[in-house]
Structure 1
Amino acid sequence: LSSHLQHHFSLSSVYSHYFPDTGIPEVTTCHSRSAITVDYIFYSAEKEDVAEKPGAEVALVGGLKLLARLSLLTEQDLWTVNGLPNENNSSDHLPLLAKFRLEL
């Protein structure tokens, strides 16, 4: 059995997974065992409309258009507030939020 999962859907992540200015990874969870991205919002996009470089902004032409997203934080940002959960975030995962427009 292969440990590789494949599909033919053209999906893009709402998040770039790296901060464009620094290349530092965004994280969605940060606790005693790890600080990594394990949560995603995927949406349909044409391959030629998706930014190829990590950290680059995603801009689509036609179809489902990403208008905005809630920013994520770095591991260092989260450790300054003692990781997750903390007094401001009751979950051990950061919330994800995206706003789209469907252009027909």
Structure 2
Amino acid sequence: KKKKRMNKKDDYDLSVHRYRRVIAEAKEMRLKELEKELKELQFKREPFDLIESQLNQKRLQMKNEASSLKSITLLPKTNLQEELSTVKNRSGHPRAKYFTFAYDRDQATSN
């Protein structure tokens, strides 16, 4: 039995359909591969996103702390600071306070 030969137009249409189907399948396969790669990359990125969000929280916390520190008024001078300033003023020498303390320390060790 002789195989019936299709005319050229039918042959062409079939080959075009086959070609388009192959291309469509290839596109779908590539899309699936890319989606899989994307999922893997997102999975690898998750810990970094977590670290980044923690850093941002820490930054905010530090900003808030800094602004609250700015609002605190300075405490009045303590006795020690007043003593230091009087020592400095009495002798007139800016570094006299260090000499005085050194002298006191030496007296304490010699006794």
**Same fold flag (TM > 0.5):** no
Q: Which of these two proteins has the greater Rg computed from alpha carbons?
A: 2
Q: TM-score, normalised by structure 1?
A: 0.20
The structure in which a higher percent of residues are helix is 2
Q: TM-score, normalised by structure 2?
A: 0.19
Considering Cα pairs closer than 8 Å and 6+ residues apart, tell me whether 1 or 2 has the greater RCO: 1
